[in-house]
Amino acid sequence: SEKLYTASPGLVNGLQARTFGVWTLLSSVIRCLCAIDIRNRTLYYITLFTFFLALVHFLSEVFVYHTAALTIGVMAPLMVASFSILGMLIGLQYLEVEALSQNKKKN
> Please, which pLDDT band fits residue 107 given cuts at 50, 70 and 90?
low
The 3-class secondary structure across 24-62, one letter per residue, is HHHHHHHHHHHHHCCCCHHHHHHHHHHHHHHHHHHHHHH
Torsional class of 13: left (φ above 0), alpha (ψ -120 to 50), beta (otherwise): beta
Mean pLDDT of 22-32: 97
Alpha-carbon torsion (69, 65, 9, 26), positive or negative:
negative
Task: Quote the pLDDT of residue 80.
Answer: 97
Angstrom distance (rounded) from CA 36 to CA 28: 12
pLDDT at residue 5 greater than cutoff 90 = no
Task: Quote the pLDDT of residue 35.
Answer: 96
Higher-pLDDT residue of 104 and 53 is 53
The 3-class secondary structure across 4-34, one letter per residue, is CCCCCHHHCCHHHHHHHHHHHHHHHHHHHHH
Taking the model in full, what pTM does it have?
0.87
pLDDT in tens, 30-79: 999 999 999 999 999 999 999 999 999 999 999 999 999 999 999 999 99
